Amino acid sequence: MQRRLVNDRFLRACRREPVDATPVWFMRQAGRYMPEYRAIRAEHSLLEICKQPALAAEVTLQPVDRLGVDAAILFADILLILEPLSVGLEFAAGDGPTLRRPVAAGADVDRLPRFDVATELGYVAESVRAIVARLDGRVPLIGFAGGPFTVASYLIEGGHSAQFAATKRLMYAEPEAWHRLLSLLASLTVDYLRMQIEAGANAVQLFDSWIGVLAPEDYRRYVLPHTRSIFAALAGKGVPSVHFGTQTAGLLADMRHAGSDVIGVDWRIDLADAWDGVGADIAVQGNLDPIALLAPWPVLAEAATRVLGSAAGRRGHIFNLGHGILPQTPVPAVADLVSLVHERTAGFRPVD
């Protein structure tokens, strides 16, 4: 049962309905750049915060309270779904996530244990319920999961990668095992996102952050069918979906075929060109360079104004960064950016 929202401009923009001002939220809006997050993080590991719904709710609400953003995003991580696969997931301090037992070859795919999402990841549904209760209808909650390529890349590389060589090797050399792996991840992701929606998430975002390393034909052959199956399975759920990746200028037309309601783009392409690439009849999210938030205010304001200029008042623009907020970002710059987006677009009559 979805409760009535005081501020639903994010959901309206996802559906390309008119809005009173352009909605704005930020990927990684809860995190280390905020002193109130660091205070909790000093006492608890990342996994503890994710697994204690009261803590997850607390940090999810921090940017909503402090910045006036138009959406909350569930505090979790795209790699939580790998933990029940017994691959030795750890978030080591400073190094990012690592897996002690990555998938090295096709044969390993068939050895991965089967698990029930509601049982193993039920704590995420509890977090969603706790967040929805604490939001009390102020803004919508975005649930999320990792996209199949990006999650597979961590599973195969055992951590972050520059070249994605092991991932692509498995993809090229053992395509059947690759497709079995991506089918498995896609079906777990559908269960996981459905669970979040049933617990009260108002929208979902699929973070396929690293798909931009693929040639378009490889994206179409090795990834797109799986992503499409995820969005198709969610289509009847009544909540909008966002599909995000970085360096996707060459993939936008294909991403469109994956079937989400919104496509998220990074700053390496002008928003107007990105919109031409995906088609005028779909919503677009983005796309300020996160490093603009480290610049002096006039430079930041100009860069944000440029993004709004490229959006040109079209229906279905959701203002965001092109990737997550960096830890060294000053909080006041983020708050000022939210105000700028709202003020510049207030009462804007969208063109069609």
* Residues classed as catalytic: 28, 32, 41, 77, 154
User: Cβ 47 to ligand CP3, closest distance in Å?
Assistant: 10
Cβ proximity to ligand CP3: between 91 and 123 the closer is 91
Interaction pattern, residues 324-343, with ligand CP3; x per rule: CB under 6 A: x-------------------
CB of 242 to ligand CP3, least distance (A): 11
91 binds ligand CP3 (CB under 6 A): yes
- In the range 274-333, which residues lie near ligand CP3 by CB under 6 A? 324
41 interacts with ligand CP3 by CB under 6 A = yes
128 is a site residue for ligand CP3 (CB under 6 A): no
Task: CB nearer to ligand CP3: give 30 or 223.
Answer: 30
Question: Per rule CB under 6 A, is residue 160 in the interface with ligand CP3?
Answer: yes
Interacting positions 131-150 with ligand CP3 (CB under 6 A): 144
Among 75-83, 117-125, 253-261, 286-294, the segment contacting ligand CP3 (CB under 6 A): 75-83
Tell me the residue number closest to ligand CP3, measured at CB.
209
Min CB(205)–ligand CP3 separation in Å = 8
Q: What is the 3-state secondary structure (H, E, C) of the chain?
A: CCCCCCCCHHHHHHCCCCCCCCCECCCCCCCCCCHHHHHHHCCCCHHHHHHCHHHHHHHHHHHHHHHCCCCEECCCCCCHHHHHHCCCEEEECCCEEEECCCCCCHHHHHHCCCCCHHHHCHHHHHHHHHHHHHHCCCCCEEEEEECHHHHHHHHHHCCCCCCCHHHHHHHHHCHHHHHHHHHHHHHHHHHHHHHHHHHCCCEEEEECCCHHHCCHHHHHHHHHHHHHHHHHHHHHHCCCEEEECCCCCCCHHHHHCCCCCEEECCCCCCHHHHHHHHCCCCEEEEEECHHHHHCCHHHHHHHHHHHHHHHCCECCEEEEECCCCCCCCCHHHHHHHHHHHHHHHCCCCCEC
| Site for ligand CP3 contains 248 (CB under 6 A) | no
Binds ligand CP3 (CB under 6 A): choice among 28, 134, 220, 314: 28
Does residue 88 interact with ligand CP3 by CB under 6 A? no
31, 84, 148, 322: which one binds ligand CP3 (CB under 6 A)? 31
- Is 300:289 a contact under the CB 8 Å cutoff? no
Choice between 140 and 350, CB closer to ligand CP3: 140
Residues interacting with ligand CP3, by CB under 6 A? Answer: 27-32, 41, 46, 73, 75, 77-79, 91, 96-97, 144, 160, 207, 209, 324
